[in-house]
Structure 1
Amino acid sequence: MTIPTDLLTAARAKALFTSDLPAYSHPTRADVATAIRHAVRTYGGTRGCTVEVGGEYGEHPETAIPRMRWALSVVHAVYTQRGATGDAITPP
């Protein structure tokens, strides 16, 4: 199933991709928000995160693709489940 991705969701996923959170982890909403903020600051904004993502796809496509799938699923889970608690996220 393909989920349409808007620009904000894509930017969040790129930032989460570049974060230190391990792929396939089940972070809490707070963990995701903190990781995204830290990545955006570390790489000088969402454009810097995009550059990092591109580099990983060029150097390590075999790990970049699954990591981006994970990042997108986590971002979709966190930002589409409004009003939920800070429980850990289990991506679809």
Structure 2
Amino acid sequence: MTAETVRTEALFASHLQRSEHPNATTVRAAVTATVDRLGESGCAELVAQEFGEHPDCAMNRMLWARAAVRDAFSRTDEGLAPDPRRP
């Protein structure tokens, strides 16, 4: 599994909402906190559960999570570079 996949699943499983318009720092913090709390497999399990129970909503959240992760972990704004050791 790639780091981007783990990060995307972690953001998907986090409590962060698209409606909050999170910045890159907030997205990175949510990803780290969720992986620390659930682990990689726990994040994947929640993604699978949501796709099974709410496929209509899950797809849109996954698309948002993927775009937010790509943006947050490719940016070096605010003087912060992505930490390659963290998912």
SS in 2 for 1:76: helix
In 1, the alpha carbon distance for the partners of 2:2 and 2:31 equals: 15
Which segments of structure 1 move beyond 3 Å, counting only runs of 4 or more? none
Picking from 49, 66, 77, the partner of 1:84 is 77
Q: Is the 8 A contact 2:25 2:72 kept in 1?
A: no
- Where do 5+ consecutive residues of structure 2 fail to align? 80-87
Query: How many percent identity over aligned positions?
Result: 34
Query: In structure 2, what is the equivalent of residue 31 of structure 1?
Result: 26
Give TM-score, length-normalised by structure 1.
0.77
In 1, the alpha carbon distance for the partners of 2:13 and 2:26 equals: 14
- Where do 5+ consecutive residues of structure 1 fail to align? 1-5, 87-92
- Map residues 5-24 of structure 1 onto 2, 5 A cutoff: 7-24=2-19
TM-fit CA distance, 1:30 = 1.9
SS in 2 for 1:34: helix
Give TM-score, length-normalised by structure 2.
0.81
RMSD: 1.7
